[in-house]
Amino acid sequence: MPQNSVPAIVIGRLPLYLRMLTFLELEGKTITASQELAERLGFSSAQIRKDLSYFGEFGKQGTGYNIAYLQKQLRQILKIDRTWEMALIGAGDLGHALANYRGFGAQNFRIAAAFDNAPEKIGARLGDLTVQSMDELPSVLHERKIQIAMLAVPADVAQAVAGQLVELGIRAVLNYAPITLSLPPKVKVYYIDPVVGLQSMTYYL
């Protein structure tokens, strides 16, 4: 099915299904059903079946889903049956935390290079990486064919840096900067701002 025919909200739920399947597998289960996934995730079983139906038929009525098979199919759909290299922009406290986070590798994502424009940070160690100058960004992205960037820079420079990344061929940005970026529609942007999450929760307290 063409990518643009699947609603973005459906794509956003697929990783949640995949994560839950992993948990179920760790519990020793080999078969699950949409009803069990619904109870675990808080979605309706009908919604789960509809989401999966965009990509084919993966289960059998009365039998359910084979967990290993559905995991494999979801990984192929999400294109995470291969390793994706990423560029990390920003070597501050957040950049250090991201570089040392081992969860990326477990899901076939790898920070291949880290960059900053502060002279005192260039050449320093950042996890297993050495921080490189932003001047080296074009050649590294081109040589390694990197399409994903993680943006961990201050808000006042995030837009300019993101624009540079797009010009250099970056097609997806995981943005930790507390600002909404203005980028071409073809570039996928995902925002992670814990303060926004906290502000949403305090409304209910």
Higher pLDDT, 59 or 157: 157
- For the chain, the straight-line distance linking the first and the last C-alpha, in angstroms and rounded, comes to 43
Give the per-residue SS3 of 114-146. EEECCCCCCCCEECCEECEEHHHHHHHHHHHCC
> What's the CA gap between 1 and 127, in Å, rounded?
40
pLDDT at 161 over 70: yes
pLDDT at 3 over 80: no
> What's the CA gap between 81 and 89, in Å, rounded?
25
Domain 3-77 shares a fold with domain 84-198: no
Instruction: Take residue 149 and report the two structure tokens written for it.
Output: 């960037």
**Predicted local confidence at residue 2, as pLDDT:** 56
Q: For residue range 79-107, what is the model confidence (pLDDT) as tens digits? A: 999 999 999 999 999 999 999 999 998 89
Topology (CATH) of 84-198: Rossmann fold (3.40.50)
pLDDT at 28 over 60: yes
Nearest Cα to Cα of residue 137 among 159, 156, 122, 126: 122
> What's the CA gap between 43 and 156, in Å, rounded?
38
pLDDT at 127 over 90: no
**Predicted local confidence at residue 63, as pLDDT:** 80
> What's the CA gap between 126 and 122, in Å, rounded?
10
pLDDT at 24 over 70: yes
Q: State which CATH number among 3.40.50.720, 1.10.10.10, 3.40.190.10, 3.40.1740.10 fits the domain covering 3-77.
A: 1.10.10.10
Residue boundaries of the structural domains of the chain: 3-77, 84-198
